[in-house]
A and B are shown apart, each in its own frame.
Chain A
């Protein structure tokens, strides 16, 4: 499915829309100024990875209103966040622990729900998997991918370049046909 990054591929600059925490696992600190904190734990395949991240945040927020939502997968995490945001007031913070792919999807739900960037923090435990959205057929392909890799689209089988751009609204990477000019 994947090809190695070519030696000439430049490292994406820091001003792209791809957050640093999708390149290497980073655990951002909780914001102690928040009044209410929703902690979304996307347990996924490796509960042992997210548990210490959540424990660290909860310990740091001792005495505050913390709502821990343990979710088996990204869809459940998005649903849990959307439910919390219905009644959320300004002063609310959202913390998300999970893979970078899950964090991007939950962040997108937060953006759609009106959260600002300084109201969300992420604890990333793995960065191998990315979701790529095909500009040609709109299918989403999920695979272990690095930026600038090429992957076969799960919808139209075109070879998609994983472009260093992530949609804030969907959390997916932009993918387009790698050799469109030559083909």
Chain B
């Protein structure tokens, strides 16, 4: 996987607990263009408070065509509250610090044939939708934004105002947002698509409201934050061919396999994209899938798993094992 060498070129801490970071190419020049809604995966080195290196995905919020820099916005998440430490690392970066990242990856693009776009964001979930709004403003697409944030903690308020000509609706409590959402879901012309990003519980509410209003699933699109919400899980062991190794609690199968030198194709690293699907052999004791990609039938078959989020379930004798077939 190709990596970009970047440096921190700008830091904006104006909004409490939200750090906006401008990343420029270390050797100058232009960066690859990207599809609106894309994210970067930053390499977070191990260090104080982080036993192991992390790979954290952050939505790109800046200009997507021929950018000379990339911009992300990262919410401060306290490791004492259970965060893995990637956010704390970003909040400690200083101008000029080197950062490596993947090239942008797209898993939450605006649907091209859509005639209209309804965007629903909560908190830092606004980030991929800012990128959508830039795209809609540029191409004159119809878009409507409902944005839930704590009072005084809204990120991108000025940009959103500019990009939507002041038509965006901001809310400071879930009840008023949901009341407005309920009305708006009933009044969207056919051809409209719905996009939501925010904490999982929030997106579950948005999806439930859309279903109740008769929206088919093909019109509803979610961007998950991913692993933050996942339980670290119990340790288990894995065999790959002749090799056997143990996966510690809090370490993903994907991370462990990469450490052993296996190149597992992957994209989102949060159970969404399906890239890191592995075939499993009969010695597998059981699979705790946790991904958002496999169908119910796939999961029931128990012969495949997503390396980034799936773990072994123990058999009756307490042994938890995955047999990976490469």
Contact = CB atoms under 8 A, between A and B. Distances in A.
Interface string B169-202: 0000000000000000111111110000000000
B217 A118 contact: yes
B26 to A, nearest CB: 44
B48 interface: no
A181 interface: no
Interface string A51-91: 00000000000000000000000000000000001001111
B242 to A, nearest CB: 37
Contacts of A114: 113, 115, 189-191
B313 to A, nearest CB: 33
A35 B212 CA distance: 9
Interface in A79-131: 85, 88-93, 113-119
Contacts of A36: 214
B219 interface: yes
Interface in A120-157: none
A23 to B, nearest CB: 24
For the complex, would chain B's binding face be called helix, strand, loop or mixed by DSSP majority?
A: loop
A7 interface: no
B170 to A, nearest CB: 23
Nearest to A119: B216
Nearest to A116: B218
Contacts of B191: 90, 113-114
A164 interface: no
Given A33-B214, A34-B214, A90 B219 contact: yes
A50 B186 CA distance: 31
B129 to A, nearest CB: 19
Interface residues on A, range: 10 to 19
A85 B216 contact: no
B230 to A, nearest CB: 29
Contact of B213 (A35, A85, A113, A118): A35
Interface string B191-235: 110000000000000000001011111110000000000000000
Contact of B190 (A90, A117, A118): A90
A90 B215 contact: yes
Contacts of B190: 85, 88-90, 92, 113-115, 119
Q: Which of A31, A34, A88, A91 counts the most B-chain CB atoms under 10 A from its CB?
A: A91
B207 to A, nearest CB: 13
Contacts of A117: 218
A88 B190 CA distance: 6
B214 A90 contact: yes
A88 B187 CA distance: 9
B219 A116 contact: yes
A157 B189 CA distance: 44
Nearest to A94: B190
Given A90-B219, A116-B216, A33 B189 contact: no
Contacts of B185: 90-91
Nearest to A111: B113
Contact of A35 (B115, B189, B214, B219): B214
Interface string B301-325: 0000000000000000000000000
Contacts of A85: 190
Contacts of A31: 216
Interface string A13-54: 000000000000000000101111000000000000000000
A118 B214 contact: no
Interface string B102-118: 00000000000101000
Q: Which of B113, B186, B191, B217 counts the most A-chain CB atoms under 10 A from its CB?
A: B191
A151 to B, nearest CB: 32
A61 B8 CA distance: 59
Nearest to A91: B214
Interface string B121-161: 00000000000000000000000000000000000000000
Interface in B73-122: 113, 115
Nearest to B214: A91
Nearest to B111: A116
A115 B190 CA distance: 7
5 contacts: A34-B214, A35-B213, A89-B189, A91-B185, A92-B190
**Leading 6 A-B pairs by shortest Cβ distance:** A91-B214, A114-B191, A35-B214, A118-B216, A88-B190, A116-B218
Given A92-B190, A119-B190, 16 more contacts: A33-B214, A33-B216, A35-B186, A90-B188, A92-B214, A93-B214, A113-B191, A114-B113, A114-B115, A114-B191, A115-B190, A116-B216, A116-B218, A116-B219, A118-B216, A118-B217
